[in-house]
Chain A
Amino acid sequence: MTAPAETILEVRDLVKHFPLTQGILVKRQIGAIKAVDGVSFDLHRGETLGVVGESGCGKSTLAKLLMALERPTSGSVKINGREIANARGGELKRMRRNIQMVMQDPYTSLNPRMTVGDIVGEPFEIHTDVVPKGGRRRKVQELLEVVGLNPDHINRYPHQFSGGQRQRIGIARGLALQPEIIICDEPVSALDVSIQAQVMNLLERLQTEFNLAYIFIAHDLSVVRHISDRVAVMYLGKIVEIGRDSEIYERPTHPYTQALLSAVPVPNPEGRETRERIILQGDPPSPANPPSGCHFRTRCWKAQAICAEQEPLLQIRSGSDHPSACHFAEALDVVNAQ
């Protein structure tokens, strides 16, 4: 996937603010949680974009915005050139066929009172013109087979399956409408490591089979590297660095990315003591009241006066071969550093 294929998802200046209100009878807005604060990126056909960042940085809100489960405060999300962020009714329903989701927790993402057949078949009940009524059961069994489940288990209930099997059911449901984009919101973080590998391999196989584009949200950096073509690093609602996985992992230029990468455990015991670890001080600031200028400056060892005055834009800079939102962007190989 070297040549950039056609862009199927285009996100521009996406903003989601959750209002903070006070008062019992008359609600007064006293502020806003800036969950997603100006995010832009493109996604190409058949490509995987990994999104990493710590808890509360707006990854899941971003997923919900892309799925049109939340309405953005401003900005646009275009799928194949058509705006989904303000689509309604029948138009929105049609657009949903192109973008589906695999959820984080396989224990809550399947309705416990429905059989597997009903769960995987629900997309066909909603979009009645995809598969004629008589062929739906057959189609559901095909989907179960595609994700590596026994098609004879169609009448079973979710609680009779293990976590990994449940996640496969969730993936089958996401595949049913043959979407072009699948948003995976931490699809493996609730699973055991060995099952994680199986589900990741399944996702990779399905990608080549159906030419899917993934947005792969996770906080596990090694998982993201394994599956992603490009990686975006988020901090406090903004993308601070975006690039091909080799660029991000081998030549990170944003101090936050460098700090994240230096925290990844290295399996090789040799040189572990000499490896430089960047330890960040303090907690991330509140997204209701982010610092001026660069959001990361309060925890950054490079911060200077300009960082508080001027917000660094996400662009290619002199010290960086890929877009980075740091005034002092400079490549530093933290992973292989001696």
Chain B
Amino acid sequence: MSDPTVAQDLIHGGDEPTGAVTVTSTGRPRSLWRDTWDILRHRKIFWVSLVMLIAFLLMAAFPSLFTHKDPNYATLAHSMEPPSSDALFGYDLQGRDVFARTIYGARASIIVGVAATLLTVLLGGITGVLAAFYARWLDAIISRVGEIFLGVPYVLGGIIILGTIAPAQTSPNEFTIMAVVILVLAILGWPILMRIARSAVIQAKHQDYVQAARALGAGPFRIIFKHLLPNSLAPILVYSTITIGSYIGAEATFSLLGIGLRPPVISWGIAIADHTRYIRTGAHAMFFPAAFLSLCVLTFVMLGEAVRDALDPKLR
């Protein structure tokens, strides 16, 4: 019978020779979030999308920085005039400055995209974590309800709900219509996030450190907020960044169909909807808002991709 060879006795308070300790040049310990940042800041796509994001956010917050013209000032005499030195992007059907309206349109689109995503994350995140953590019948109910919502095609669901609450002929005020559109997007979108959160939490739940916390006597609140959430945040973060982009696109789709945002709100979707009929005589009135819309969606999708690459190198 062999006893394990006693390689060396412990030096009390000493360090193990095999220590694989990495320290940054500043001597600060590196968390996993810091590692993520290090990967991120070496990626060109991240910086490109970040610069574009800042530009769009500035547009949304301070449109007057980019243009001094009033987006609602209309001169019918200028109707559908092409771009010129006077008006960079030309004039629209009502004789309003397209550049000013495109700049001012960023605000509604981004507010809708970000707010709807936040609501989706909140709804989907809470239901997903609860479903995964308590499992059993609660999981069954939440998952089945989610599947019902997922079964409704996006545009069809939007037409039904928006067409009932805010039919195309009505003109609710700016705040109401934006709130309704945000709500509709979140209601139709939460199950996907619920599923992502649910699977991430189920994965984390079976890790040994959760068992260890339970063995210490940790309550459900501590386990969820200290152990499960920080370890399932990555996929939620990635998906929500990409979702902002797709919600901005979805908002434009609803506006195009006449059931989403509508005047007096200024948005890219409305501008596109108003000018689809004039595409052969005055494409500029539709092209510029459409280009900004695409760029904005692209920005968020690129940012999401960069974040995903950094958070989960395995997916690359």
Is B148 an interface residue, CB under 8 A from the partner? Answer: no
Listed stretches A10-18, A109-117, A271-279, A300-308; interface member: A109-117
Is A4 an interface residue, CB under 8 A from the partner? Answer: no
> Range of interface residues on chain B?
35 or more
* B-binding residues in A (CB < 8 A): 64, 67, 69, 92-93, 96-97, 100-101, 103-105, 108-115, 122-123, 125-127, 145, 148-150, 153, 155-157, 159-162, 164-165, 170, 173, 177, 193-198, 200-202, 205, 222-223, 225-226, 249, 264-267, 335
Is B84 an interface residue, CB under 8 A from the partner? Answer: no
Do A96 and B216 touch across chains, with their CB atoms under 8 A apart?
yes
* A-binding residues in B (CB < 8 A): 1-16, 18-23, 29-33, 207-209, 211-219, 222, 226-227, 230-231
Choose among B3, B209, B219 the residue with the greatest number of A CB atoms under 10 Å from its CB: B209
Contacts of B3 in A (CB 8 A): 222, 225-226
Chain A nearest CB, measured from B59 CB (Å): 35
Do B16 and A112 touch across chains, with their CB atoms under 8 A apart?
no
Do B217 and A173 touch across chains, with their CB atoms under 8 A apart?
no
B5: contacting residue among A145, A162, A193, CB under 8 A: A193
Do B7 and A198 touch across chains, with their CB atoms under 8 A apart?
yes
Chain A nearest CB, measured from B162 CB (Å): 36
Contacts of A249 in B (CB 8 A): 1
Do B231 and A202 touch across chains, with their CB atoms under 8 A apart?
no
Do B32 and A160 touch across chains, with their CB atoms under 8 A apart?
no
Do A195 and B18 touch across chains, with their CB atoms under 8 A apart?
yes
- Give complex CA distance A113, B32 in Å: 7
Do B218 and A126 touch across chains, with their CB atoms under 8 A apart?
yes
Do A103 and B1 touch across chains, with their CB atoms under 8 A apart?
no
Beyond A103-B208, A122-B213, whether A266 also contacts B2 by CB under 8 A is yes
Do B29 and A157 touch across chains, with their CB atoms under 8 A apart?
yes
- Give complex CA distance A226, B4 in Å: 7
The 7 A-B residue pairs whose C-beta atoms are closest, nearest first, are A109-B208, A93-B217, A113-B230, A194-B7, A96-B217, A111-B209, A108-B208
Instruction: Pull 21 A–B residue pairs with CB atoms less than 8 Å apart, ordered by A.
Output: A69-B214, A100-B216, A103-B208, A111-B226, A111-B230, A113-B31, A127-B216, A160-B29, A161-B20, A162-B18, A173-B216, A193-B4, A197-B4, A197-B5, A197-B6, A197-B7, A197-B8, A198-B10, A202-B10, A222-B2, A249-B1
Chain A nearest CB, measured from B199 CB (Å): 18
- Give complex CA distance A64, B211 in Å: 9
- Give complex CA distance A196, B32 in Å: 28
Contacts of B14 in A (CB 8 A): 148
Contacts of A153 in B (CB 8 A): 21
Residue of A nearest to B21 (CB): A160
Do A109 and B13 touch across chains, with their CB atoms under 8 A apart?
no
What 9 additional pairs, Cβ within 8 angstroms, besides A162-B18, A177-B216? Answer: A108-B208, A113-B33, A113-B231, A123-B216, A145-B13, A150-B15, A197-B5, A222-B1, A222-B4
Do B213 and A161 touch across chains, with their CB atoms under 8 A apart?
no
- Give complex CA distance A335, B3 in Å: 13
Do A105 and B218 touch across chains, with their CB atoms under 8 A apart?
no
- Give complex CA distance A267, B211 in Å: 38
B212: contacting residue among A103, A127, A267, CB under 8 A: A103
Beyond A69-B215, A126-B217, A200-B4, whether A110 also contacts B12 by CB under 8 A is no
Do B216 and A165 touch across chains, with their CB atoms under 8 A apart?
no
- Give complex CA distance A101, B215 in Å: 7
Chain A nearest CB, measured from B260 CB (Å): 39
- Give complex CA distance A274, B201 in Å: 55
Residue of B nearest to A155 (CB): B29
Contacts of A161 in B (CB 8 A): 19-21
B6: contacting residue among A104, A108, A156, A201, CB under 8 A: A201
- Give complex CA distance A157, B29 in Å: 7
Chain B nearest CB, measured from A16 CB (Å): 16
Do B10 and A205 touch across chains, with their CB atoms under 8 A apart?
yes
Contacts of B227 in A (CB 8 A): 111
Beyond A69-B214, A103-B208, A198-B8, whether A165 also contacts B19 by CB under 8 A is yes
Chain B nearest CB, measured from A72 CB (Å): 16
Residue of B nearest to A177 (CB): B216
Residue of B nearest to A112 (CB): B32
Chain B nearest CB, measured from A175 CB (Å): 12
Contacts of B12 in A (CB 8 A): 145, 148
Contacts of A145 in B (CB 8 A): 12-13
Contacts of A69 in B (CB 8 A): 211, 214-215
Contacts of B10 in A (CB 8 A): 148, 198, 201-202, 205
- Give complex CA distance A193, B2 in Å: 13
Do B29 and A126 touch across chains, with their CB atoms under 8 A apart?
no
Contacts of A113 in B (CB 8 A): 31-33, 230-231
Residue of B nearest to A67 (CB): B215
Beyond A148-B10, A195-B18, A225-B1, whether A159 also contacts B217 by CB under 8 A is no
B211: contacting residue among A97, A103, A173, CB under 8 A: A103
Chain B nearest CB, measured from A181 CB (Å): 12
Residue of A nearest to B227 (CB): A111
- Give complex CA distance A103, B7 in Å: 23
Chain A nearest CB, measured from B8 CB (Å): 7
Contacts of A92 in B (CB 8 A): 217
Chain B nearest CB, measured from A89 CB (Å): 10
Do B32 and A96 touch across chains, with their CB atoms under 8 A apart?
no
Do A223 and B209 touch across chains, with their CB atoms under 8 A apart?
no
Residue of B nearest to A202 (CB): B10
Do A157 and B32 touch across chains, with their CB atoms under 8 A apart?
yes
Contacts of B4 in A (CB 8 A): 193, 196-197, 200, 222-223, 226
Contacts of A195 in B (CB 8 A): 16, 18
